[in-house]
């Protein structure tokens, strides 16, 4: 049994990781300030510490004796970071530096960092699917902040020998995803609209934008594999399915009427993962198809 710490453990991704760790018999500490997380997501067997990772003095004592840290805490949407970059910088950049510094000082064995495919930005069409060797092109404050977190992970490897693994997620979806508010993603928003009997809103120029969607259970598995795998320090992996769908196709799968809303110029056009590195070095590959994942969500939300 290991002692694990999950930042953002009341959130969508973090709560699923915490559940898996507890089901596997590990001791789990959750740090969360409930900016986007929900109390009902917190596993009752976990130790909950309500705090902000941007406050180093508060979080530092809770890393003592921890073997592995899963750093999922973030303000994880592009639009809010463009409208006001200060809160997301505190969470995504300063918060990550604090987590790494606390991990280093507590002699944590490994930090698994949740990063994002938005770091790639818009690449040339011939560069798809996106591989980890491509030069990042952050197109928003959020993606720049998450890239800064990746750079900090690599610097902590170099200067302090802290073992880190970086996972770039491609559009994670599944049970517990946010369905409303500034940090909800397209699938969650569509589900909420269907529950309310409203048309699903599609940004005016975004219907044919294509995204690679990854089910939460596959993301959890990638985190566990990254923890246990014997890989070089600071290694970076794409966590995506290698297949993408347009927003219009997603709406058609969920089913129901749609309507157009105003365009957002800072959104990127395509995501599509080359996940061959994760398959080779982690032994990970996605198991849940997008069709299966959407069918599961429709069943959970009684949208059949």
The pLDDT tens digits for 123-173 are: 888 889 999 999 999 989 999 999 999 999 999 999 999 999 999 999 999
d(CA 138, CA 87): 18
Q: What are the pLDDT digits (tens) for 11-32? A: 999 999 999 999 999 999 999 9
Residue 132 has what pLDDT?
97
Alpha-carbon gap, residue 272 to 103, rounded angstroms: 32
- Residue 262 pLDDT more than 80? no
Please give the pLDDT value at position 265: 57
Q: What string of H, E and C letters represents the secondary structure of the chain?
A: CCEEEEECCCCHHHHHHHHHHHHCCCEEEEEECCCCCCHHHCCCCCEEEECCCCCHHHHHHHHCCCCEEEECCCCCCHHHHHHCHHHHHHHHHHHHHHHHHHHHHCCCCEEEEEEEHHHHCCCCHHHCCECCCCCCCCCCHHHHHHHHHHHHHHHHHHHHCCCEEEEEECCEECCCCCCCCCCCCHHHHHHHHHHHCCCEEEECCCCCCEEECEEHHHHHHHHHHHHHCCCCCCEEEEECCCCEEEHHHHHHHHCCCEEEECCCCCCCCECCECCHHHHHHHCCCCCCCHHHHHHHHHHHCCCC
Q: What is the mean pLDDT of the chain?
A: 94
Predicted local confidence at residue 208, as pLDDT: 80
Q: What is the mean pLDDT of residues 195-209?
A: 84
Write out pLDDT tens, residues 62-115: 999 999 999 999 998 778 888 899 999 999 999 999 999 999 999 999 999 999
Q: How far apart are CA 61 and CA 105, in angstroms?
A: 10
Per residue in 128-144, is it b (16+ CB within 10 Å) or e — as a string? bbbebebebebbbbbbb
Other C-beta atoms within 10 Å of 39: how many? Answer: 10
Q: Which CATH class is domain 3-173+215-241+275-286?
A: alpha beta
pLDDT of residue 263: 66
Do the beta carbons of residue 26 and residue 82 sit within 8 Å?
A: no
Q: In this structure, what token pair is assigned to residue 297?
A: 């969500």
What's the burial of 290, exposed, middle or buried (CB within 10 Å: 0-12/13-18/19+)?
buried
Residues marked active site are found at: 142
Report pLDDT digits (tens) over 175-184: 999 988 766 8
**Residue 82: what pLDDT?**
85
Mean pLDDT on 43-49: 98
What would you measure as the largest C-alpha separation in the chain, in angstroms? 55
Q: What pLDDT is stored for residue 250 in this prediction? A: 95
Output 69 or 270, whichever has higher pLDDT: 69
| Domain range list for the chain | 3-173+215-241+275-286
C-alpha distances in Å from residue 300, one per residue of 63, 98, 103, 304 = 36, 37, 37, 9
pLDDT score, position 264? 61
Confidence (pLDDT) at 260: 87
Could you tell me the pTM of the whole model?
A: 0.94
Lowest mean pLDDT among 36-40, 170-174, 246-250, 269-273: 269-273
């Amino acid at each position: 049994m290991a002692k694990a710490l999950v930042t953002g453990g009341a959130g969508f991704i973090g709560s699923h990781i915490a559940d898996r760790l507890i089901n596997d018999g590990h001791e789990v500490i959750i740090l969360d300030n409930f900016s986007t997380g929900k109390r009902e997501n917190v596993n009752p067997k976990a130790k909950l510490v309500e705090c902000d990772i941007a406050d180093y003095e508060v979080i530092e004592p809770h890393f003592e004796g921890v073997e592995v840290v899963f750093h999922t805490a973030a303000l994880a949407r592009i639009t809010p970071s463009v409208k006001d970059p200060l809160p997301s910088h505190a969470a995504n950049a300063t918060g990550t530096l604090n987590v790494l510094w606390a991990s280093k000082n507590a002699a944590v064995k490994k930090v698994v960092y949740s990063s994002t495919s938005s770091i790639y930005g818009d690449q040339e069409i011939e560069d798809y699917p996106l591989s980890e060797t491509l030069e990042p092109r952050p197109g928003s404050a959020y993606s720049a902040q998450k890239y800064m977190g990746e750079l900090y992970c690599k610097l902590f490897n170099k200067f302090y020998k802290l073992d880190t693994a970086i996972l770039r997620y491609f559009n994670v979806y599944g049970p517990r995803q946010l369905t409303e508010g500034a940090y909800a993603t397209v699938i969650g928003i569509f589900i909420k609209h269907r529950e309310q009997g409203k048309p699903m809103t599609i940004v005016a120029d975004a219907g044919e934008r294509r995204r690679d969607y990854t089910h939460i259970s596959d993301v959890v598995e990638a985190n566990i594999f990254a923890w246990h795998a014997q890989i070089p320090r600071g290694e970076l992996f794409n966590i995506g399915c290698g297949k993408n769908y347009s927003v219009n196709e997603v709406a058609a799968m969920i089913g129901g009427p749609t309507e157009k809303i105003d365009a957002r110029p800072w959104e990127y056009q395509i995501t599509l993962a080359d996940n061959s590195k994760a398959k080779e070095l982690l032994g990970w590959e996605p198991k849940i198809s997008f069709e299966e994942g959407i069918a599961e969500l429709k069943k959970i939300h009684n949208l059949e």
